[in-house]
Chain A
Amino acid sequence: MNENLFASFATPTMMGLPIVILIIMFPSILFPSPNRLINNRLISIQQWLVQLTSKQMMTIHNSKGQTWTLMLMSLILFIGSTNLLGLLPHSFTPTTQLSMNLGMAIPLWAGTVFMGFRHKTKAALAHFLPQGTPIFLIPMLVIIETISLFIQPVALAVRLTANITAGHLLMHLIGGATLALMSISPSTALITFIILILLTILEFAVAMIQAYVFTLLVSLYLHDNT
């Protein structure tokens, strides 16, 4: 049971060909692009959602930060759709792989940091020392602030990976427990099944929230640095 608990997280290959690229590109088919002024119902719903999200996320930024709108909107759409698709049975979720999340987190965080150092060097360096610290604490605090800066991309990636992976694993385990309990005592199996339903609702929420949190934090780092 242990081996096939983790088998769903293995990189999918079909007859030796890595089709993980196809699976990563699949959510893009689900978002058709608007062609006309007034589109059909499905594209209008999609347009309305994207406008709602972008207004919510980007009003806090100044004009320099708002150039990142396209990047952050595609990021939240990608992570949200990939997480939600991973809740379908037997599907593979690319965001469970730490490699992919690091690949998303590090360049985005580095982009915000370099932008801050380039345009507002003094203010960016001043982040390393909070106001009003006693003089003898300064060296230690600078070291601590540097460490907390460098841990930001790692935290972004690991947060997303751990949340999604843990949710999937928990669903596998509780589902397996429900099946095993069904022959022993159906009432306990019923309770476990209710727990599974609640967990699935949680997972739907977590899928979307994680996307939101990732994007929100990147935009926060951006706000600090523009």
Chain B
Amino acid sequence: MASVVCVFSSSFSVPLKEKKLMEVKLGELPSWILMRDFTPKGIAGAFQRGYYRYYNKYINVKKGSVAGISMVLAAYVLFNYCRSYKELKHERRRKYH
């Protein structure tokens, strides 16, 4: 019964706009990216979805661990490093500081 249902649903082709990222073929990738919703509401929705995806996977579990928070802190350190790379470029190994 279940196998009949699976075959039935895959016989219709899914339109490009509604495919998930993993199902998009490589040649279709640029047009897929251009079809995404870049309005402020769309971007806010993307941030919200990303936040809840991380939150429900690592924080909102019965026994959360230090890994959930430390990944966020590591990303914060990386963000600040990228932000101040321009000044830090001069700090590389040289004879006289």
Chain A positions within 8 Å of B, measured between CB atoms, are 1, 4, 7-8, 12, 14, 19, 26, 29-30, 32, 40-43, 85, 88-92, 176, 180
Contact = CB atoms under 8 A, between A and B. Distances in A.
18 contacts: A1-B97, A4-B91, A8-B84, A12-B83, A12-B84, A14-B83, A19-B83, A30-B69, A30-B72, A40-B60, A40-B61, A40-B63, A42-B64, A42-B68, A85-B76, A88-B73, A89-B77, A90-B83
Contacts of A85: 73, 76
B62 interface: yes
Nearest to A13: B83
B89 to A, nearest CB: 11
Contacts, number: 54
Question: Could you say which interface size class chain B belongs to?
Answer: 20 to 34
B62 A40 contact: yes
Given A26-B76, A40-B59, A91-B76, A7 B97 contact: no
A92 B59 contact: no
Contacts of A30: 69, 72
Nearest to A92: B80
A162 to B, nearest CB: 23
A14 B83 CA distance: 7
B53 interface: no
